[in-house]
Amino acid sequence: MPPRRRPASGYHGVRAWPSGQFDAEIRSGDERIRLGTYDMAHEVARAYDAVAWRLGRSRRTMNFHDVFTREQAEMLAPPPPPVITREQQRRQRELEQRLLITERDEALRLEWARRFPEDVAATEAFYAQKEEEKAALKAKKKSPSFGLRTLFLAQNFTLFLLFLEQVTADTRKALFEELLWEHRELAEAHDKCQVIPEASIDALKEQLATAQREKDELSRQHQEELNALKTSYQELKSQLIQLGLDHAKALKAAEVTAAAKLDEALENACNATVVLRAELEEMTKARKGAEEKAARLEEGHKECDQLILQTDTLALRLFPDSQRYAVKKVDAQRKDKGQADLTVPWTPKDHLVALNARVSHMRCIDRNLSDILM
């Protein structure tokens, strides 16, 4: 196969205009897609290669063979020409749409060829047969033929004689030989034909009538089955419509019931929230009151402890002899509680025990004094 001839621009698919600009177009079946006009030939060639990659064309039809992927070709391709007028914008949109449609068609064609190779082979064989028939018809038209059958079947014998006078002797000879062979073939075919007897014609008519009756019977049965199918179809359609209506009613009723339950649940939740808030406020108030009461009790307890300490200190000043009784009472109480270390400073409770011991000691002294004075 001879190498493909390059156009004047030096790139495949790129044309040069007298204005010094370049454009390109690519074929997709019987359709041509124009890719726009550029100032440089290599820019148009890059745009052509990018579209060829999109359409899945062979790399042999591309201009730059150092590009190995579609992404690389699209990256190297120049941006489309600037769109200024509305007509150019419309053309640009049409170009993009045609490219997308062509890309999709090419992808579908490749997928079909991959999934059904036998159909592709049958299609190619069909078109090859058509091409052969066209070539044979063209060769037959080019070959010298005078249309003998057409001339022989013509009713105007004078024109046929004028035609015979115009042809040469050799052509006449070939013409009569061909007529003779055709006559011989017709005679042989006539000899092979047999006369159809009348009885055979009647039998054929009877068979034809029987076939017509069977055809009518089949048509009637087919019409009855078709009517039955139409009736069943109408019944099924009515049932389907009724089921759809029932479903819509049930769905609407379910939606109403669900909405009512949801409203009731929301109302109950709101009421419960109100009750819980009230209880929480009451509990908060009660807790606050308890904390205040506990604070007051704590203050009273501190005051009581201070008073006990002051009273015990005053009693110690008045009755210093009662100290050993008080210490003895406090140690005894600590031992009863299991406290091992007796040197720990006294607590307010220990001072209260000590004060009780001092008071008891003072009462004993008062009783003894009373007994002595009496």
Q: Kindly indicate the confidence band of residue 5, based on its pLDDT and cuts at 50, 70 and 90.
A: very low
Q: With pLDDT > 90 as the criterion, what percentage of the chain qualifies?
A: 1
Distances (CA, A) of 89 to 36, 79, 124: 12, 14, 40
- The domain locations on the chain are 14-126, 146-192, 319-373
How far, in Å, CA of 233 to CA of 230, rounded? 5
Q: Residue 109 in contact with residue 123, Cβ under 8 Å?
A: no
Q: Is the pLDDT of residue 157 over 80?
A: no
pLDDT at 147: 47
CA dihedral angle for residue 227, residue 228, residue 231, residue 237, rounded to 10 degrees: -120
- φ/ψ of 15, rounded to 5, equals -115, 145
Q: What is the mean pLDDT of residues 89-101?
A: 79
pLDDT tens readout for residues 6-28: 556 678 888 888 888 888 888 77
Query: Nearest Cα to 29, choosing from 104, 138, 111?
Result: 104
Q: Are 339 and 359 in contact (CB under 8 A)?
A: no
Q: What is the rounded CA–CA span in Å between residue 107 and residue 123?
A: 18
The mean-pLDDT minimum among 67-71, 191-195, 308-312 falls in 191-195
pLDDT bracket for residue 187 (50, 70, 90): low
> What is the C-alpha to C-alpha distance for residues 359 and 351, in angstroms, rounded to an integer?
12
SS3 assignment, position 17: coil
pLDDT, residue 168, reads 53
How far apart are the C-alpha atoms of 231 and 26, rounded to whole Å? 56
Q: Is the pLDDT of residue 178 over 60?
A: yes
**Is the predicted pLDDT of residue 327 greater than 50, yes or no?**
yes
Query: Which amino acid belongs to residue 267?
Result: E
pLDDT interval class at 75 (50, 70, 90):
confident
Say how far apart CA 109 and CA 117 lie, in whole Å: 11
Q: Give CA–CA dist 35/14, Å, rounded.
A: 10
36 class by beta-carbon count within 10 Å (0-12 exposed, 13-18 middle, 19+ buried): buried
Which tens digits make up the pLDDT trace of 210-238? 888 888 888 888 888 888 888 888 888 88
Q: Evaluate the CA torsion angle 54, 55, 59, 64 in order and state its sign.
A: negative
d(CA 143, CA 46): 49
Structure tokens at 163: 């035609």
- For the segment 253-277, the average pLDDT, to the nearest whole number, is 89
H helix or E strand, kind and range, residue 321: none
CATH architecture under which domain 14-126 falls:
2-Layer Sandwich (3.30)
Average pLDDT over residues 354-366: 79
Among 6-10, 142-146, 292-296, the minimum mean pLDDT is found in 142-146
Helix (H) or strand (E) holding 202: helix 198-318
Burial pattern 8-30, b for ≥16 Cβ within 10 A else e, equals: ebebbbbbbeeeeebbbbbebee
